[in-house]
A and B are shown apart, each in its own frame.
Chain A
Amino acid sequence: SQQGEEDPQALSIQEGENATMNCSYKTSINNLQWYRQNSGRGLVHLILIRSNEREKHSGRLRVTLDTSKKSSSLLITASRAADTASYFCATDAGYSGAGSYQLTFGKGTKLSVIP
């Protein structure tokens, strides 16, 4: 089952503008991750934010996490046509010595950046 929802489902912006995508989830998490998927390809890991972190940056990406609201946002600044892709948030409920990795994904936001 899906952990949460991304919002919006689709987003179309002009090159150079900022794009903001939101993600909500339902259960306690160890970390939240954002992935990008170009059409017909695999997922590319963008950024991981731990449950005790509130904000993280990587290049043009900024991720925030609010565990009290069970939500996260991904901001892409100065977007480029090459940023056109689907973006997914994924939650990791935690790993223990006897546990395993299992990501629970949202349904994604389809971003179109118009040149």
Chain B
Amino acid sequence: KAGVTQTPRYLIKTRGQQVTLSCSPISGHRSVSWYQQTPGQGLQFLFEYFSETQRNKGNFPGRFSGRQFSNSRSEMNVSTLELGDSALYLCASNTGTGGNQPQHFGDGTRLSIL
């Protein structure tokens, strides 16, 4: 099975712009979660989608949004980019049903804000 695929791997934007990141989960996985990783704050949960519905959301401003498509692929969008949004954005997937499951992570999108 192919792993979780995130595109693009690297992205450079300027303040005020918006950006869309993409994540394709492992085939058969219906849950997609997004995490932000920064040196200062570490790994922080952004949101989780299951069957095209957001099931859970972390403590991030409304500039951060996401969606999930019928094929379970997910996108996250950040509007009005700020310098502090520079981070590694990681996507993870699992089946989304039943407990005690590991998350399968992609290699992330490195977003740099100039």
Contacts and interface: CB of A to CB of B under 8 A. Distances in A.
A108 B48 contact: no
A43 B103 CA distance: 9
* Chain B at the A interface: SS class: strand
Interface of A: 1-2, 30-31, 33, 35, 40-45, 48, 50, 88, 90, 92, 94-95, 99-108
What range describes how many residues of B lie at the interface?
20 to 34
B96 A101 contact: yes
B100 A101 contact: no
Contacts of A107: 42
B4 interface: yes
A100 B98 contact: no
A102 B46 CA distance: 9
B45 A103 contact: yes
A31 B33 contact: no
B56 interface: yes
A43 B90 contact: yes
Nearest to A104: B45
Q: 10 shortest A-B CB distances, which residue pairs?
A: A100-B55, A105-B43, A100-B56, A95-B99, A42-B105, A45-B102, A43-B105, A42-B107, A107-B42, A100-B48
